[in-house]
Structure 1
Amino acid sequence: MSTSPLNKAPISQLPLSDFTEHRAALMAKMPNSSIALFPGASELTRSNDTEYAFCQNKNFLYLTGFNEPDALLVLLKDEQGKAESILFSLAKDALHEIWQGRRIGQIKAVQDYSVDKSFVVAEIDSLLPDYLDGKSQVFFGFSNHDFAAQVFTWLKQVSGSIRQGAKTPQHLTDVDPMVAELRLIKTDNELALMRQANHISGLAHQRAMQKCHVGKFEYQIEAEILHEFARHGARHPAYASIVAGGDNANILHYTANNEVLKNNELLLIDAGAELAGYAADITRTFPVNGKFTTEQKAIYQLVLDAKNLAINSIKPGMSFAKLNVLTNAFLTQGLVDLGILVGDLTELISDKKVKEYFIHGLGHWLGLDVHDVGDYHISTDREQLRAFEVGMVMTIEPGIYIPLNDLSVAEKWRGIGVRIEDNIAVTATGFENFTVNSPQTIEDIEDLMAEIQKA
C-alpha cells in the first residue's frame, strides 16, 4: 500500500517505446495472414465553420500516439508471421497549414512514430483492397458502424476480383475486446502519466476549496478548476466537470453549473484533468461556507469511511463484487445508525435497501477513457466478478444522495448529496492511491477553507 505523493519526475506524455510495445503486443495476438484496421477520429463541427477541440479515437491513440484527424492504422501479418505497420495520414498542405496548423506528413510519420510505412489518406481506397487480398482474417472494431461499412466496401472490391485470382478473407473479428484487454493493464509509464494527471487534478480540487464562497456561481468554481488544469499542462478536462451546489449534488451527471452557491449547503465537484489522453476522475464534497453542519458531517464521514474501507481492501484477486458486499453492508449499518434506514439489518442488506441512497456503482476502470474499456466479467445477477490484477487502475466512489423532495426521511437530511472518489492502481502488495493531494477529511477541509477565508 502507498499513499505517498509524487516521488519521481512528472511526465507529460508517453515515450514512443510504449506505442511500439502496444502495437507489438496486439500483433502477437494476431494469427499469421491477418490484418487489423484502426481508424482515427474526425473533427466534429461545433458551429458553422468551427470545430470542437479534437479528441483522438482512443484505440488508435493507444497504438500510435498520433493525434491528427482522419488517419488510419493498418497492421499486417503475413503467412510467415512477419509484421508490418502502415499509417495513412493527411498530406502536407501549405495553404491548410497557414489557416489551420501544421501537419506531420508522411516522412515524419515514419521517423517520429516508428511505423514501417506511411501514405496519404487519399491513397486508402486504392491500397486497402490489395492489403486485404489473400489475408485469412480481418480485425476491426464492430462498434464503429460507419467504418465497418467501409471495410465491407473494400472487401466487396476484393471479392469482385476473384476471377483475377484475388482471395477474400474468410474471418471477420471484432478487435475491440483484444485492445481492451491490453489497455486494462497499464505500463509503468502509463501509471506515471495517470499519477501526474491525478496530481494536477488534486491541485485543482484544492483551488476550488480555496476559491469557494457563498454567492459565487457554480461556473465560477468550474473556471478555477479548468485554470488549474491548464496551468499545469493539462489543457482539457477528461469530461464535463460537475460543480453541483446543494440539491444539485443529487443529480448524478449535473453539468449545468449555473446556480448560486448558498450558505449552509454542500458543494460536490466531480472533475478530472486529461493529460496526453489519460484521464483522472476525482470527486470531492465540501461545505460552501467552509464549515460542515452536524448532519452534513454525519453523512460525509459515513461516505469517507466507506471509501477508505473499500480502498484498503484492494489487492490482486479482489473484485468489485466483493468490494460491493463490504461497502453496501457498511453503508447500510451507517444509515440505520442515523435513522435514515429502518428495519432489520440483515433484511435491509439482503434487500439492498442502501441502493435507495447509494444509487450508482462503486467504481469503474480508468485510463484513456474515463469509463475505460475492459471486461468486468459481469454475472447473470450483474455482479462484477473480475479479479483485480497488477496494473489495473480504477475509481472508488461511494456516495449517499438524499434529495430535497425525499419525504421519507427527516427534513434535516434532505438536500444532502455526498460523493468522494479516488483513483487507485493495483500493485503486487495491494494498491497505490493516486488521489492524495486534495483534502478529504473533515478537519483538513475545514482547516484549508478557514485559512483562505481568514486571508
Structure 2
Amino acid sequence: MTNFAARRARLAAQMLPGAVAVLPTAPEVPRNSDSDYPYRHDSYFYYLTGFTEPESVLVLVAGSGERPARSILFCREKNVEREIWDGYRYGPEAARSAFGVDEAWPIAELDTRLPDLLADASALYYATASNAALDAQVAGWIKAVRARSRSGVTAPSAFHDLLPLLDEMRLIKDADELALMQRAGDISGNAHARAMRAARPGLHEYALEAELLYEFRRNGAQFPAYTPIVASGPNACVLHYNVNDRLMQDGELVLIDAGCELDGYASDITRTFPVNGRFSPAQRTLYELVLAAQDAAFAAIAPGRPYSAFHEAALRVLVQGMLDLGLIPAGTHATVEDAIAAKAHVPFYMHGTGHWLGMDVHDVGAYRDLTQLDKPSRPLAPGMVLTVEPGIYVRPMEGVPEEYWHIGIRIEDDVVVTDDGCRILTSAAPKAVEEIEALVGKGA
C-alpha cells in the first residue's frame, strides 16, 4: 500500500497547513426491491486508499508546524451476521493495518468526530457542490464547531474544491498504474481478437458482446469499463449505439467499442471489421484512410507537444481523404485547411480524436492550460494516458457516392506518453487489414 500512502502525503503537502480534507466513497445504489446495482467504489477515494468497501470516508489532516499529516479512515464495523450474507468486512482495526492509515473509526462515528477534527482547522477541502448529501453533512459539522465558539474554538473559514488537486495528480500515471493499464489493454485486446474469430453473418450483435464479456471476466477483469458497443451495418454510424441486438448481415462491417476495467483502471478499444471476413473495396478504402489518420496522430504525440496536435494531425489526413473520395464535393473547398475551417468534415467526423484514460474511461484532468489567460491546449507530459480514436461515418446523403453509405469505422487504441513519443498499450487487438481478414470467422 506504499503508493496510496505516498499519494496521501502528496495531497496533504498541497493543502494549507492544518487544513482538513474529507473524501467519501460512492454509495450503494438500489436497482429494484432488495437488489443493488453492482457496487463500484469512487475513483478519487480508491486512488488515495485502495479501499473498496462502501460506507467509507477518508479524512486527511495536513501537517502544521511540528505536527505531521494524519490520515483517518471511517468504515463499517465488523458484523458477523452481515458477513454471512454479504461477505468479508475489514472493520476499522484490520483496515488501519491493511491500508496503512494512521487511524480508523466506525463510520457511525463520523458525524460526532468530524467537528473535533474541524475545530481550529485552517480550511476544509472537499468536493464542493457535487453531492447534496455531503454538502448537508459539511453544513452540520461546521454548525457544530461554531456552536463551540464561546470556548474559543473556530470553524474553518476557507473552503476549497478538493477535486482539481486530485485531477492533476491522477493525470500522470505511475509505474504501477501503467502496469495495470497494460494488463487491462492486453485482456481487452485479446477479447477483441476473440470476437473477431467468433464473427460470422447470421449472428446477433449480442453474441459478440458475450464473447467480449467472457474473455474479460475469465482473465480477472471485474467489469466492462463502460457499456460495450457492438454496432453492425448502419448501427456503426450511431456513435453511442449499445442496444446490440441486430442480426449481422453478410457484406457489412461491425464496429466494436469495448474495454475492461481491471483493479480500478479502464481500457478503451475500438475495432471495425467485416462480418464475413473480407473487406469490400469501398470498406477497405475508408478503413485504410482511418488507419492512416491514426498513424498520423501517433506521430504527433510527444512530451511538450500540445494535446490538440494529435487531433489536428488525424483530422488533416481524414479531410484530405474525404476530398479525394468525393465525400466533400470537389471544388467547394480549395484546400484541406479551407474544408476544416468550413467544418465540411463534420457530417462524416463529428468527434475529437481522443480523451484522457485512467481510473475512469473518460478520465479526469483539464485539456487546456488553465494557468494561462488564453487557456491554450496543455502540453503533453510523460505518464499521461490517452485514447487515439479517429473515425469516419457515412450515412446516406445527397452527393455522397452510394458505395460508402452505411459504412461506419472507428479505430481506437490507448497510449501512454513516453520520454520520446508514445507507447501503445492495446496492440494485442488486431487492426491491420491482413491480420483481420486472416482472423475473422476462424472460431473463438
CA distance in 2, matches of 1:31, 1:66: 26
CA distance in 2, matches of 1:176, 1:316: 25
- Residue 378 of structure 2 corresponds to 386
1:10-32 deviation digits (Å, cap 9, x = unpaired): xxxxxx11111111111111121
- Residue 154 of structure 1 corresponds to 141
State whether residues 320 and 384 of structure 1, in contact with CA within 8 Å, keep that contact through their aligned partners in structure 2: no
CA distance in 2, matches of 1:410, 1:378: 42
CA distance in 2, matches of 1:304, 1:227: 28
State whether residues 281 and 423 of structure 1, in contact with CA within 8 Å, keep that contact through their aligned partners in structure 2: yes
- Residue 39 of structure 1 corresponds to 24
In the TM superposition, what are the counterparts of 1:139-150 in structure 2 within 5 Å?
Answer: 139-142=125-128, 143-150=130-137
Q: Does 1:82 align with 2:74?
A: no
The number of aligned residues is 437
- Residue 50 of structure 2 corresponds to 65
Q: Does 1:242 align with 2:250?
A: no
Q: Does 1:98 align with 2:59?
A: no
CA distance in 2, matches of 1:325, 1:311: 11
- Residue 397 of structure 1 corresponds to 389
C-alpha RMSD of matched pairs (Å): 1.7
State whether residues 356 and 387 of structure 2, in contact with CA within 8 Å, keep that contact through their aligned partners in structure 1: yes
- SS of alignment partner, residue 186 of structure 1: coil
| Aligned AA (1:198) | G
**Stretches (4+) displaced over 4 A:** none
CA distance in 1, matches of 2:311, 2:411: 16
Q: How far has the Cα of 1:79 moved from its partner?
A: 2.8
Q: Does 1:129 align with 2:115?
A: yes
Q: How far has the Cα of 1:153 moved from its partner?
A: 1.6
In the TM superposition, what are the counterparts of 1:37-436 in structure 2 within 5 Å?
Answer: 37-80=22-65, 82-142=68-128, 143-342=130-329, 343=332, 344-345=334-335, 346-377=337-368, 385-403=377-395, 405-436=396-427
| Aligned AA (1:111) | S
State whether residues 208 and 224 of structure 1, in contact with CA within 8 Å, keep that contact through their aligned partners in structure 2: yes
CA distance in 2, matches of 1:348, 1:373: 32
State whether residues 23 and 58 of structure 2, in contact with CA within 8 Å, keep that contact through their aligned partners in structure 1: yes
CA distance in 1, matches of 2:270, 2:134: 36
| Aligned AA (2:357) | L
State whether residues 216 and 260 of structure 2, in contact with CA within 8 Å, keep that contact through their aligned partners in structure 1: yes
Query: Could you tell me the TM-score, scaled by structure 1's length?
Result: 0.93
1:341-400 deviation digits (Å, cap 9, x = unpaired): 1232242132232222111111000000000000111799x9960100010000000010
Deviates more, 1:326-335 or 1:269-278: 326-335
Unaligned runs of 5+ in 1: 1-15
State whether residues 88 and 121 of structure 1, in contact with CA within 8 Å, keep that contact through their aligned partners in structure 2: yes
- SS of alignment partner, residue 106 of structure 1: helix
1:145-194 deviation digits (Å, cap 9, x = unpaired): 32122112211111122112220101000010000000000001100110
- Residue 11 of structure 1 corresponds to none
State whether residues 193 and 275 of structure 1, in contact with CA within 8 Å, keep that contact through their aligned partners in structure 2: yes
- SS of alignment partner, residue 440 of structure 2: helix
Query: Could you tell me the TM-score, scaled by structure 2's length?
Result: 0.95
CA distance in 2, matches of 1:35, 1:176: 14
Unaligned runs of 5+ in 2: none
Q: Give the fraction of aligned pairs with identical amino acids, expressed as a percent.
A: 43
Q: How far has the Cα of 1:325 moved from its partner?
A: 2.2
Q: How far has the Cα of 1:327 moved from its partner?
A: 1.7
State whether residues 307 and 396 of structure 1, in contact with CA within 8 Å, keep that contact through their aligned partners in structure 2: yes
1:397-432 deviation digits (Å, cap 9, x = unpaired): 0010112x4334122111000000000000111111
State whether residues 311 and 354 of structure 2, in contact with CA within 8 Å, keep that contact through their aligned partners in structure 1: no
